[in-house]
Amino acid sequence: MSNSINTSLKRVLVIGLGQLGLPVAKYINDKGFDVYGYDINSESMRRAQEKIGIKTTTCFRNFDIYIICISTHNPADIASPQIDGLLSVINKISMEANNGSLVSIESTIPLGTSQKVFELLEHRLHVVHAPHRWYSQDEEKYGVNQLRVIGGVNPCCLKLGSEFYTGHSKCPTHVFHDEEIVNHYNAQEEPNKTFNASTANFIDNSSIDNNNQMNSQAYSQSLEIPMHTVSTIEIAELTKIIENSHRYLQIAFAEELYLYCQANHILFPELRDALNTKWNVEILEPRRGIGGHCLPKDTKMFLNSSKFRSKILQSAMEVDYLYRDFMTVRERKLITSVANLTN
């Protein structure tokens, strides 16, 4: 595979033009790249054309960069993970893409998916995972260009991905000067190849100053997104699903505390306000249960990522079920009481 982007080529295809893909396509287009969009839903493609002027296509040929932003939930159950659609897209890329192109998976994926994608692409394309942290309700503060995590299937993939996202191929020195990590990469390479941590197209020791910082090469065009580089793509995969699992835990604890207050005749709002006066405490406000698809789906991805079963996450799911049942019963009682008053 080629080790650098030809900066005269900048054709990007954003695959998936929904809640995440549409702002991603807009951001990349605003940065001056030649951006196209694809979505299985023709209405989504029409909206992308009308709203942000994105050209759309059903052909995956002759693109330098593919950014995957498709949903990874089961269409029949949005709280359950499924990557069939993503793998279908990868098969199409494999058949039509040029060798050496960059595939960036921004969709949330289960552990091990990126390596599987690399195999399906027959090692002909570069693969990175740069999970999104975009928040639709506050795009100004938590938009596409906030600090992100990136990992590559191998060092040359990570180099290429870093060039595209940040404008340079800088990678933290701690990532490639740790013996355990170097051995990890060596184990993945061909037997007659060795990953040299001091070069590897990432680090030139002559460019590291006294502060152990790198004066990395800048590239003429990039997304200028700050990226936190990790040593393996598996860490990038886990980062996103654990972030959302942690959020799930926070909400579930608030739900359980609410149930505790109800059982013991304690005013939850007043207790919550008192607790949150401490600098390192943040009790959330429980609402109608842990909804949407991201938190439940990604928590299940994390639970399914290992033979070790997280007891605390399983308990959190049970708490959410109990809380939902409690809120449903309370709502029914309220409706009944209102009905009796009006009769």
User: What is the enclosing helix (H) or strand (E) of 228?
Assistant: strand 227-229
User: Comparing 11-170+216-231 with 239-342, is the CATH topology the same?
Assistant: no
CA distance 168 to 166: 6
14 — phi, psi (to 5°)? -95, 120
| Residue of 270, 236, 243 whose CA lies nearest to 114 | 236
Task: Report pLDDT for 199.
Answer: 36
Query: Domain ranges in the chain?
Result: 11-170+216-231, 239-342
Q: What is the pLDDT of residues 72-94, one digit of tens each?
A: 999 889 889 999 999 999 999 99
Q: What is the CATH number of domain 11-170+216-231?
A: 3.40.50.720
Task: Report pLDDT for 292.
Answer: 78
Would you place residue 179 in the very low, low, confident or very high pLDDT band (cuts 50, 70, 90)? low
Task: Report pLDDT for 221.
Answer: 79
pTM value surpassing 0.85: no
Strands 73-74 and 77-81: antiparallel
Q: What is the pLDDT of residues 149-177, one digit of tens each?
A: 999 999 999 999 999 999 876 554 445 44
CA distance 25 to 33: 10
| Residue of 45, 86, 46, 84 whose CA lies nearest to 66 | 86
- The fold of 239-342 is N-(1-d-carboxylethyl)-l-norvaline Dehydrogenase; domain 2 (1.10.1040)
Residues with Cβ within 8 Å of 325's Cβ and at least 6 positions away in sequence, in order, are none
Would you place residue 198 in the very low, low, confident or very high pLDDT band (cuts 50, 70, 90)? very low
CA distance 99 to 117: 15
Torsion-angle region of 162 (φ positive above 0: left; ψ -120 to 50: alpha; else: beta): alpha
pLDDT of 226 above 80: yes
> Tokens 């650098």, residue?
4
Task: Report pLDDT for 313.
Answer: 95
How far is CA 75 from its chain centroid? 19
pLDDT of 9 above 60: no
- Half-sphere exposure (Cβ direction) of 58: Cα atoms closer than 13 Å: 5
Torsion-angle region of 100 (φ positive above 0: left; ψ -120 to 50: alpha; else: beta): left
CA distance 83 to 107: 10
Task: Report pLDDT for 78.
Answer: 87
